[in-house]
Amino acid sequence: MALMAKWIAGVDIGGTTLSVGMVPAAGGRPRALRTGDTPEGRGGEEVVARVCGMIRAAVDELARAEGPDAAVAGVGVAAPGSLDRARGIVLESHNLGWFGLPLRDRVEAATDLPAVVENDANCAAYGEWWQGAGRGFRSVLGITLGTGVGGGVVMDGRPFAGATGTAGEIGHMTVEFGGRRCTCGGRGCLEAYASGPGIARTAVEGLAGGTRSTLPNLVAGDLGRITAATVHEAAVGGDAYATGVLARAARMLAAGITSAVNLLAPDAVVVMGGVAAAGDLFFGPLAAELGRPRFRSALDACTVVPGALPGTAGVVGAAGVFRLRTGPARG
């Protein structure tokens, strides 16, 4: 008889997308990976129902591929917002409209599996530390560039929440005093410049000045349709203006990384998410800005790298956090 394989279901609940995959407890790529739209639903019931359906389908798919001995140890859930980790409750998620949702208990009841809940940005950082670009480092700051700028911290192999539970919020660090208004109500937050919408805003504001660029053609003249993806597309096509817009976002991110690294002194920063996919168009100016003269002790001791698990860092990390909290599963 073969040794029984142990698997963990990893779940990443995002504002627009749900992702579920079966992750080997010993580490490795997720199997039976599936994604779905996040439904709008009162109190999170529709979201939880859909997620649990996806978990059951993934478990079934795994069993068909691996045989009935493909034992599943439990479920790790990456959720946005502030959490009561010990009780697995989402205290406050404005994106999803959840306030006091007992997510862990709901998932456990619907799947008959033990579950743990952790912040989504911390899960992404943990996933990269456990199985991705952060392997072998003591401490990782993970930054996810998307609709917002999320941050998570892994310290000595554990997600770091700080004394008050919300550590790692690099998106709302001030990088330009009195600068651009952020969705949080503040001014000059990193998120206002380096998120997808921030990049689009930089592009549109510059175009209003009459700059030459292919961007207007790409959106049939409707500048409101410009997104970070449009800017990337134009830059890849050789548009100097769009290339400069990406470089500006990268330089603002460099300022945020500088601040964060001076404070936390991690040995690695992993940059994840959509904007990060722009490759050298983004990481070139980022590296150049980080290399400029400035206080260097912490920066020189730290490695800044792109994520290695595009689209799955949260799923892998949520499974890893389950393993961490419940002890390594045994075969």
The residues that touch a copy of itself, with contacts defined as CB under 8 A, are 82, 137-139, 151, 153, 155, 161-177, 179, 182, 184-189, 251-252, 255-256, 258-260, 262-267, 292-298, 301-302
Cβ-based nearer residue to a copy of itself, 33 or 99: 99
Alpha-carbon span 43 to 97, nearest angstrom? 7
Cβ-based nearer residue to a copy of itself, 55 or 173: 173
Output the smallest distance, CB 220 to a copy of itself, in A: 33
CB-based contacts of 164, cutoff 8 Å, min separation 6: none
Q: In DSSP terms, which residues pair with 174 in a beta bridge?
A: 189
At 233 the three-state DSSP class reads helix
Cβ-based nearer residue to a copy of itself, 61 or 267: 267
Alpha-carbon span 273 to 146, nearest angstrom? 6
**Contact criterion met (CB below 8 Å) for 148 and 195:** yes
Cβ-based nearer residue to a copy of itself, 21 or 285: 285
Cβ-based nearer residue to a copy of itself, 81 or 306: 81
Output the smallest distance, CB 201 to a copy of itself, in A: 15
Output the smallest distance, CB 313 to a copy of itself, in A: 20
Output the smallest distance, CB 13 to a copy of itself, in A: 19
Q: What are the φ/ψ torsions at residue 68 (nearest 5 degrees)?
A: -65, -10
Identify the CA nearest to 76 among candidates 16, 15, 143, 30: 30
Return the number of other C-beta atoms located less than 10 Å from residue 328's C-beta: 10
Output the smallest distance, CB 258 to a copy of itself, in A: 6
